[in-house]
Structure 1
Amino acid sequence: MPAITSDEELARAIDRMRAAGTDVAEYELKASVDDLPKSTAETMSAFANTAGGTIILGVRESRGFHPAKGFVPKTIQAKCAQTAREEVSPSIASDIRVLMFEDAPVVVANIPEASARQKPCYVRRLGQRNGSYIRTGDGDHKMTPYEIDRFIENQLRSARNDVAIVHEATIDDLDAELLSSWLAAERSSSFGRADAVDDCTLLANRRVIAVDEDGTLRPTLAGLMALGNYPQKYFPRLNVVFSCYPQSEKGTLSPQGKRFEDIANLDGPIPQMIVDALRAVSRNIKHGAIVKGALREDVPDYPLDAVREAVANALMHRDYSFDGQGEPVMIDLYPDRLEISNPGGLYGSLTVDQLGQRGGTASRNQALSRILEEVPYTDIDGRRGHVVENRGTGYPIIRNALADALMDKPIIDNGLDGFRIIFRHRSMTEQESTSYTRGNVREAVLDFISERESVSTSEIARAAGVSNKTARGYINELINEGIVEGLGSQNSPKRRYRLAGKRG
C-alpha cells in the first residue's frame, strides 16, 4: 500500500475521503485532540494483517475533514510510535511523521503489511485470539478463529491436512482402476526407483495410505480425494457445486421466474469432478463459430482450457482443514462472467502479483499435489494427460488461453479465507457478427483446399463442423465449376481433392 510521505499526498488522500464522505480501506482518520485513541492499536493490527495502510491523526471527519483544533502533534507522534513498538505483537516498524494540512500540523503513521511469517499481528493486552484484527471496507474487524488459524498455518508452513488419515475409510474405498493406472504412471516416471518397492510401500511413501494407531492401513484424505471411489461418503462438502444464474446477481429471478438456469452437485474423485465441471460449464455457454481460412473454428464464451486449469487449481489448493471441510468449490456462471472460488486463500508468502511468475508457486496440500501429478486424466474432448503438472504452469495456461480468445486477464480476488478467479464474458468478434452462411462456408472450404496439397471429404467435414454428406455437396459444387478436381476412383473411400487451377 503506498505510504503518505508529503503534504501533497496527504491533501489528495483527504480529498478522496471528502468525496467518499468517510474513511476508506487504506486510510483511517482520528481527531486525537486529547490523547491517542485506544482503538489505534486495533487499527495498526488490522492494517498489518491486510495490505498496510495509513493512520491520519489530527483531522476531524465530523467537521468536513478539517484540522482538529487543539491538536498537539509532538505528544501524539510519540504515543503513536510507542503503541507500534509496545502494544502490538510483533512490533511494527512504522513510518510516523508530521505533515502539514491546511496550515496545520497532522501526524501520519504509515503502517506496512506484515510478512506472512509475522501474521497475525495482534493487540498484546487482548491476546492473539481476541486481539487480531483485519481491515474490511473502512473499518477494523476482529478476525475469526478460522482466519487466525489460516494465518498461523501460513506462518509455520504447517498445513498437513491432506495427509490426515480417514479413520472410517478402508483400502477398498480406493478406485481399483484409478489406482492401477496411477501406480503404473508413478513407476514409469521414477526412472526405476519405484520398482524397488512393492505397491503398498509405494502408496505409503506417496501418502496415499497410512497406518492408523491400531496398525491398520487406511487412505489419507489426499489418497481418497485423488484416487477414491466416492470421497463424499466421508466428506459430503468436499465437492464442486455448479450454478448457472439467469441474471448477473444471485437471487435475482429471470423474467420467467427462475432462480437458476442449471444447478449440479459434482461428486467423485478430483479427476471426475474436473470432467463433470467442464461438462456443466460447456452445456451452459454458447459456442460461437468464426469462419476463417481453415474453415469453422468453435469459440466458446470461456476457453475450456482456462476453465479446466482454474477448477483443477481450486480442488488441489483449497483448504482441507477441519474448519474448511464444510465448504465446497463453487462454480458460478452468470450472463456476464464465470466465477470459480475455493475455501482458503493463497498459501504461505505467495501473493497475487507472483502468480504465473518464476517461483510463483506454493502448495498448501503437498501430498495431494504430488499424487495428482501422476493421476491419469481424459478431457471432454478426448485429450489424455494427467490432472496437474505442478510446474507453475496453471496460471500461465489460464492467462494464455484467455489471450488467445482475445479476452481480458482474469480478475483475482484473494483473501485469507478464500480465493476466487473471475473470467469476464468474451466479447463477440467482428467475424462472429457475420452470420455463418452457405456462401462463406463455401469460400472457407475453397480456402482450406487451396492451402493443402490434397484433402479428403472427412478432413473437410471435420474442419467445417458439418457432416460428410454436406461436405461432399460443397466439393461436388466446386468440381462442377472446374475449380476442384478429384484424385482416384470416384467411388473410392480414399478419394482426395485438390485445387484444379487458379480462381478466375
Structure 2
Amino acid sequence: MNITSDEELYAAVDRMRKAGTDLAEYEVKSAAGGFPKSIPDTISAFANTCGGTIVLGISEKEGFVPVQDADIKTLQSKLAQAARELVEPPQAIDILVLQFGSVPVIVANVREAPVREKPCYVRKLGQMGGSFVRTGDGDHKMSLYEIDRFIENQHRSARNDAAVVPDATLSDLDRNLLEGWLSHARSTTLGRTGAVGDEELMVNRRVAAVDDGGILRPTVAGIMALGRYPQKFFPRLDVVFTSYPSPHKGEVDEVGKRFVDSANVDGPIPQMVVETVRAVSRNMKHGAIVRGALREDVPDYPLPAVREAVANALMHRDYSADGQGTPVLVDMYPDRLEVSNPGGLFGSLTVDRLGKKGGTASRNQFLARILEDVPYADYDGSTGRVVENRGSGIPTINRELADALMERPILRSTLDEFDITFRHRRMTEAEGAGYSKGNVEEAVLAYFTEHESASTSEVAKASGMSTKTARRYIKDLLDEGVLEPIGTKNSPKRRYRLS
C-alpha cells in the first residue's frame, strides 16, 4: 500500500514497530550516513514484485525513530537519480517529503512494473546479476529460471512447446491418438485443412517440425499430447501423486509411514489426466447417502473439478528446458487437495482475472490447440476431448464445487508456480442428503412446500448455500414452471412461491 500522507506514514511505521522489522511492502533506511547503496536493489525488487514504499530518514535499528540529521534535499535528488539512471528500464517513482513527528522524511512509492518491462535490474550488475525480487522484508537476487520466465512473459506467446524433440521420430507417436487427432482436426476446422496431407497438417499444427538436418520429428507439444511414452525423452514431464497421512509433509502416521499412497503417472497427457483422477478417486472417501430407494455417492472432491485442474496443469505448465525437470504435483492431505504445476500464470494474466471475460492467456498455444482435438476415454468411461481451451477451466471448477455445496478453490500464482487448492468437503454423511443438484432441488422444493413464500436469501440461509448458488437453483425451478415470482424482477424484496 502506498504512503501518501503523514497519517499513513504513522500507521505503516506503527505496524513495522510492532513487527520489529521491515515488511514486504516497506523498506526503511536511516540514511544518516548518506544515500544507501542498496536502494537500486530495492527499486528493482519492488518493480519486479508488487510495488512498495521506500522510507529514508527513519532508523529501524533504534526502534523506528526519525533521524535528526538526514540531508533531505540530497536524499531526494539521489533517490530520483537512482530510479532514472541506476536501474533498467528507468522507473517513475512518486517521491514525497512527509513529517514524522516534527522531522521530515523521504517517502518514495515504487509501482509494480508492467510485464513488458520486467525484469527491472540494476544497470551496473547487469540483467543476470542485478535483477531482484521482494521476499519477506528483504531484496533477493532472482534465479536464472525466474529471469527466464520474466523474459518469456514479455512476449505474447512462448514457443517452448513447438521445440523439436531431437531424438524422437514419428514412430514415437501413438497411432490411435494420432489418427483420432487427425480425424477430429479435419472434421472440426473450417478452411483448407481437408485439402492437405497428414504430415503437412502435423507441421501446420506443430505436432511435428523439421529439424536442422531436414528430418521431420515430433515437437514437445506433439510428443506430450500424442506420444506413446513421452517420459522416454522427458522423465520428469509426468504427474507425481502423493497421499499424505497428516496435513503436513514429512509427518508419519502411527505405523511410521510417510505416504498413504504415491505414484508416478506416466504417458501422454490424455492418459495422465485419466490415471491421476483415478488415483485421487481411490484415495478419497465416497460417502453413501440413502434417499428413498436411491443410493448416492458423496465424494470428498467432485471428480470433474479435479479432472479440470489436472488437465489445466498439464496444458499450461512450463515446458522450457529449465522447467522440464519439474513434474506436476498432486498432493492429497486429510484436509485438502493441491494441484501444482511449474510456471505461474502467463503474460499479464492474474488470478483475479481467471474465469472472467478476457481472462485467458496460453503459454503453450500449440499444445492447447492440439489437445482440443484429441478424443479420448475419460475416467468415468465417457468420451470427449482433453480440454476445451475456451477459458472455461476455472468456471467449470467453480460450478462443480458450487453444485457440491463446497467453497471455491484457493488459487495462487507466483513467477515459477501455479497452485490450486480444494478444501475438503465439510459435510458429514448425514448432511450429505443436500449434496447433489437433484437433492438440493428437492430440498428447495420442500422448503417452499413448508412456507407460503420465500426470498433468495431465506433459501440460502436455510440450505447453507451462498446466495448466488441459491439464486441459480431458484432460476432453474422458475424456468421449469415449478415456482412463480412475487414482485418486480429487479426488486430486492422479490419472493417466490410454488406455482
1:44 maps to which residue? Answer: 43
Identity among equivalent pairs (%): 66
**TM-score w.r.t. length of structure 2:** 0.84
Say whether 1:185 aligns with 2:184: yes
**One-letter amino acid matched to 1:75:** T
Contact 2:34–2:71 (Cα < 8 Å) also in 1: no
For residue 429 of structure 1, report the CA deviation from its aligned partner: 5.1
Report the counterpart of residue 231 of structure 2 in structure 1: 232
Structure 2 unmatched runs, 5+: 434-441, 447-499
Counterpart in the other structure of 1:140 = 139
Structure 1 293/111 Cα, relative in aligned 2: closer, same or farther at 3 Å?
farther
Which runs of 5 or more residues in structure 1 are unaligned?
435-442, 448-504
1:218-266, Cα deviation, whole Å (9 max, x unpaired) = 1111000000000000100000000111111111111221100000000
Residue 71 (structure 1) aligned with residue 40 (structure 2): no
- Alpha-carbon offset, residue 294 of structure 1: 8.6
Give the structure 1 partner of residue 275 of structure 2: 276
| Contact persistence 1:28–1:55 (CA under 8 A) | yes
Tell me how far apart the structure 1 counterparts of residues 173 and 432 of structure 2 sit (CA, whole Å): 50
Per-residue deviation, 1:156: 2.8
Q: Which amino acid aligns with 1:357?
A: K
Residue number in structure 2 paired with 1:95? 94
Judging changes above 3 Å, is the alpha-carbon distance between structure 1 residues 433 and 384 closer, same or farther for their aligned structure 2 residues?
A: closer
- Distance (whole Å) between structure 2 residues aligned to residue 296 and residue 58 of structure 1: 70
Partner of 2:305: 306
Deviations along 1:318-350, whole A, 9 cap, x unmatched? 111111100100111111111111111111111
Q: Is the 8 A contact 1:242 1:264 kept in 2?
A: yes
Deviation at 1:191, TM superposition (A): 3.5
Q: How does 1:193-208 map to 2 (within 5 A)?
A: 193-208=192-207
**Aligned equivalent of 2:410:** 411
Cα distance, 1:59 vs. partner? 1.1
Task: Go from structure 1 to structure 2 and tell me whether the alpha carbon gap of 1:293 and 1:7 turns closer, same or farther (over 3 Å shift).
Answer: farther
Give how far 1:362 is off.
0.7
Cα distance in structure 2, aligned partners of 1:378 and 1:199? 23
Matches within 5 A, 1:37-436: 37-157=36-156, 159-191=158-190, 193-291=192-290, 295-428=294-427, 431-432=430-431
Q: Which residue of 1 aligns with 2:460?
A: none
Conserved? CA contact 1:288–1:432, under 8 Å: no
- The 2-side partners of 1:67 and 1:430 are apart by 60
8 A Cα contact 1:290 1:432, kept in partner: no
Structure 2: how far apart are the matches of 1:347 and 1:313?
13
1:35 aligned residue? 34
Counterpart CA distance in 2 for 1:430 and 1:240 is 31
Contact 1:291 1:431 in 2 (8 A): no
Change (3 A) 1:17 1:292: farther
RMSD: 2.1
Instruction: Determine the C-alpha separation between the residues in 2 that align with 1:178 and 1:362.
Output: 26
Moved more, 266-275 or 282-291: 282-291
Residue 65 of structure 1 deviates from its aligned partner by: 1.4
**Please, which moves more after superposition, 154-163 or 249-258?**
154-163
> TM-score, with normalisation over the residues of structure 1?
0.84
| Corresponding residue number in structure 2 for 1:472 | none
Note the alpha carbon deviations across 1:73-122, whole angstroms, 9 max, x for none: 22212211111111111111111101122332221111000011000000
| SS state at 1:324 partner | coil
Check the 8 A contact 1:413/1:419 in 2, yes or no: yes
Give 1:214 deviation, angstroms.
Answer: 2.1
1:13 aligns with 2:12: yes
The whole-number CA distance in structure 2 between the counterparts of 1:386 and 1:38 is 56
Query: 2-side partners of 1:133 and 1:263: how far apart?
Result: 37
AA in 2 matched with 1:249: H
Count of equivalent residues: 439
8 Å contact from structure 1 (residues 181, 376) kept in 2: yes
Q: Is the 8 A contact 2:288 2:429 kept in 1?
A: no
Deviation at 1:405, TM superposition (A): 1.9
- Between 1:362-371 and 1:303-312, the stretch displaced more is 303-312
Residue 196 of structure 1 aligns with an amino acid whose one-letter code is A
Question: If you compute each CA radius of gyration, which structure gives the higher value, 1 or 2?
Answer: 1
Q: Can you list the C-alpha shifts for 1:365-392, whole angstroms capped at 9, x where unaligned?
A: 1110000000113222122211111111
- Mapped partners of 1:407, 1:74: distance in 2: 57
